[in-house]
Amino acid sequence: MTWADFWALIATLDGEATEENCRRLAEELSRRPTPDIIGFAERLAEALYRLDQEKLGTLPVVDLTAWYGSPFPQSADVFLYSRCAVVAAGQTVWESVFSDADAFAPYTSSKRDGEWLLYVPDKAYELTTGEEWTHSTRYCVESYCNRDGWPHLRA
């Protein structure tokens, strides 16, 4: 799957990875050949992996503060779901955060949780084949896996 095809599919989310939008995307993707579903999963994983950077992951959650008033850090899960929300927002937003980390900050909000995007390939594959998704992508989507994005975590 090309990046252009990937971003065209992402555009069907209308900027948000809600459960309903992601269900629609999975249904659209399920009407394509299985290699397209795998290609979508690979592009999604790469897009998330490329966002896995310290300058983004260390930003605080925008709508939370600790009980003593200090900024509330993103957990590994919040950071993953924030990256999903950025991808769901589309190519322009995704590209913008690489040069402007502050553009990522609004996506750390609990109101912009993009977790549903993670399940699109699984659901599309299941709808197409009737089987459970077992594909492993080339890139890990989990937080702190991009060694280039977190240089001080390198072993």
The fraction of the chain above a pLDDT of 90, given in percent, is 83
Whole-prediction pTM = 0.93
Domain count, the chain: 1
Pairing relationship of beta strands 71-73 and 60-65 according to DSSP bridges: antiparallel
Does 148 fall in a domain?
Answer: no
The predicted model gives 30-49 an average pLDDT of 98
Q: What is the pLDDT of residue 72?
A: 75
Does 138 fall in a domain?
Answer: yes
User: Are 143 and 150 contacting, i.e. CB atoms less than 8 angstroms apart?
Assistant: no
pLDDT of 10 > 70? The answer is yes
Task: Compute the CA torsion angle 106, 110, 111, 112 (nearest 10 deg).
Answer: 60
Which whole-number Å values give the CA distances from 128 to 21, 75, 148, in the listed order?
18, 34, 36
Does 86 fall in a domain?
Answer: yes
Does 137 fall in a domain?
Answer: yes
Does 149 fall in a domain?
Answer: no
pLDDT tens by residue, 94-112: 999 999 999 999 999 878 8
User: Are 147 and 126 contacting, i.e. CB atoms less than 8 angstroms apart?
Assistant: no
- Give the chain's mean pLDDT: 93
Q: What is the largest CA-CA distance in the chain?
A: 53
Higher pLDDT, 19 or 74: 19
Q: Which domain holds residue 61?
A: 3-142
Question: What does the block give as tokens for 146?
Answer: 């991009």
**Continuous segment of H or E residues that includes residue 64:** strand 60-65
User: Are 84 and 118 contacting, i.e. CB atoms less than 8 angstroms apart?
Assistant: yes
User: Are 51 and 37 contacting, i.e. CB atoms less than 8 angstroms apart?
Assistant: no
State how far Cα 127 lies from the chain centre: 21
Does 154 fall in a domain?
Answer: no
